[in-house]
Amino acid sequence: MTRRMGAAAAIIALCVGAGVAVSAQQWPKSSLPPPLPARSVAFPPYEIRTLPNGLQVVVVLHHEQPSVTFRLLIRAGAMQEPADKPGVASFVAALLNQGTSSRSAGEIADAIESAGGSLGTGSGNELSFINGVVIKDQVDLLLGLVADMVEHPAFAPDEIDRQRRQMLSSLQVSYDDPDYLADLVLDRLVFGAHPYGRPSDGTPESVGRITRDDLVNFERTWFVPNNALLAVVGDLTSDEAFAAVDRAFGTWARRNVPAVAPVDPPTPARRVIVIDRPGSAQTEIRIGQLGVPRTHPDYLAFDLAVRILGGEGANRLFGVLRTDRGLTYGASADVRAYKNAGLIVAETDTRSPATAQALRLMVDEYARLQHEPVDARELRGAQDFVSGNFPLSIETPSSIAEQVLSRLFYGQDPKELETYRDRVDRVSVADISRVTRELLKPDQLAIVLVGDASAFVGDLKTLGFGEFERIPIAQLDLNSLTLKRPPSFGPVRPGPRPALPPA
């Protein structure tokens, strides 16, 4: 039907006499039209309440669709796991929906999915989370399940075994993924022994050693309401939303959580690591250094500076690597800021023979951001994007809730959201010069190249990167600060170290 109608339309067009597409010469000159009158825009309303047990709750109302979205954040992640057992937080997160004292994994999945819901769990450097969506008539069911998952997780031995097998096989695949490895190795180089530097999915070796007690202790210690934040968003009244949260989480018992002493990351030193993955079609490139914590007074100016290097839209790295030379599909730079410390990372990927050239261009652009004042128009461009993007960032209730949650998580006043654009607009070229001078360390960059080393190590010397460590992919050990597995340890290929008998 569809195709026949297309043919009919084509015949009609033929009958009325087909035109010919206009050439660029014939099309009239014109210039960018002026905008229409601007609309007013303000951060939408939200409400925050704290339950008697300490659970902080954010509610954002939204009535267009008959749905409810929620996000539960626990203030604990890789940072809080035992130093010698990376992977505990992600192991716990993976097991949260795999059984409680009264429901099996299958019963949980059936209940959520029959309600038209879905649910995801995970963990990061300093948080664990459960996210979900549901059609609004089933919100009690979904919140009740989530409360059961955090209050009464089963950690059944057969589920632990099943999950361990999954994690080990997943790591085997991930350890062959250059993009994954490049990110992990850069974190290790920049943060060293600091918890942010540990591989948060664990390693084949650590996942094999994690016990049920490790999981239970982590969950019991950190998964308490006074260490959690919950956002509920959607087609409810605010009283309905808070009442539903109270029904589900009101009996969750408060408990004191241990204080976590902040750890300073190590002093950085220049290090160039080549992870040799023969046969690669491209090299994954990362360069980076320590940044600032999320609450640092210069965070905003620093973020703008890094946007000039590699932020949204036309940025310097994108210009030199992609637009001018066709060396890559993507090039970007970001700041990642956590509670204790942060990271700047610039990344790209390029065909193997172009690796050294692309790296040279990146490092030079990185240094130029410090050595030359930025052009006022470039700064204006980055500011215009950030402040102009504000109305786009409040389109969905989930993104509104996410911004409020994030402020609460880092101990900031959510009211700052209302003055955000003004603060962005006040940053000057002098501010950028000051923060790049104080914070950028181009001579201490950590550099990671994951690719076919034989295609580019010769060029590295020629282009000024004479000192590098070359590590065969099979010898990579993310547990170790040397990144290298001792020759006598373990199998040749990472991953298949049998922690369990086959199923």
Partner 1 sequence: MLRKTLSALIVVGAVVLVSSAGPATVIRPTRFDYTMATLPNGLQVVYLEDHSTPIVHLAMWYHVGSKDEKPGRTGFAHMFEHLMFKGSKNVRPDQHPSLITSVGGQSNASTDEDATQYWETVPAQYLPMVLWLEADRMASLDVSEEKFTTEREVVKEERRMRYDNPPYGLLPEVIFDKAFTTHPYKHQTIGSMADLEAASIDDVRAFHDTYYVPNNATAVIVGDFDTAQAKALVEQYFGPVPRGKPVPREIPQEPAHAAESRFTVTEPWPLPAVVVSYHITYDGHPDSYPLHILAKILSDGDSSRIYRSLVYEKQIALAAFGEAKLIEHPNLFYAVAIVQRGHTPEEVQAALQHELDRVKTEGVTTDELNRAKRQFARDYIFSRETDQQKALQLAHAVVIHNDIKTADGEFDLFQNVTVADVQRVARTYFTPESRMLLTFLPGAAGAGR
CA 94 to chain centre: 18
Shortest CB 43 distance to partner 1, Å? 11
**Contact 425/268 with Cβ under 8 angstroms?**
no
By beta-carbon proximity to partner 1, the closer residue of 82 and 106 is 106
By beta-carbon proximity to partner 1, the closer residue of 82 and 330 is 330
Shortest CB 386 distance to partner 1, Å? 7
Q: What's at 285, amino acid-wise?
A: I
What does DSSP say about strands 118-123 and 282-290: parallel, antiparallel, or unpaired? unpaired
Shortest CB 208 distance to partner 1, Å? 13
Shortest CB 273 distance to partner 1, Å? 18
Structure tokens at 72: 């539960």
By beta-carbon proximity to partner 1, the closer residue of 48 and 141 is 141
E strands, 44-152, where? 47-50, 56-61, 67-74, 118-123, 128-135
Shortest CB 368 distance to partner 1, Å? 20
By beta-carbon proximity to partner 1, the closer residue of 10 and 481 is 10
**Whole-angstrom distance, CA of residue 433 vs CA of residue 444:** 19
By beta-carbon proximity to partner 1, the closer residue of 262 and 330 is 330
By beta-carbon proximity to partner 1, the closer residue of 84 and 377 is 377
**Whole-angstrom distance, CA of residue 357 vs CA of residue 159:** 49
**Whole-angstrom distance, CA of residue 153 vs CA of residue 146:** 10
Shortest CB 81 distance to partner 1, Å? 24
By beta-carbon proximity to partner 1, the closer residue of 162 and 255 is 162
By beta-carbon proximity to partner 1, the closer residue of 464 and 491 is 491
Shortest CB 244 distance to partner 1, Å? 16
By beta-carbon proximity to partner 1, the closer residue of 32 and 83 is 32
Shortest CB 389 distance to partner 1, Å? 4
**Whole-angstrom distance, CA of residue 164 vs CA of residue 205:** 11
E strands, 51-194, where? 56-61, 67-74, 118-123, 128-135
DSSP 185-248: HHHHHHHTTSGGGS-TT--HHHHHH--HHHHHHHHHHH-SGGGEEEEEEESS-HHHHHHHHHHH
**Whole-angstrom distance, CA of residue 254 vs CA of residue 260:** 18
Shortest CB 65 distance to partner 1, Å? 5
Which is it for the CA torsion 348, 350, 353, 354, positive or negative?
negative
By beta-carbon proximity to partner 1, the closer residue of 109 and 457 is 109
Shortest CB 201 distance to partner 1, Å? 14
Q: Which residues contact residue 212 at a Cβ distance below 8 angstroms, ignoring those fewer than 6 apart?
A: 155, 157, 160
What one-character DSSP code corresponds to residue 33? P
Q: How many CB atoms lie within 10 A of CB 4?
A: 8
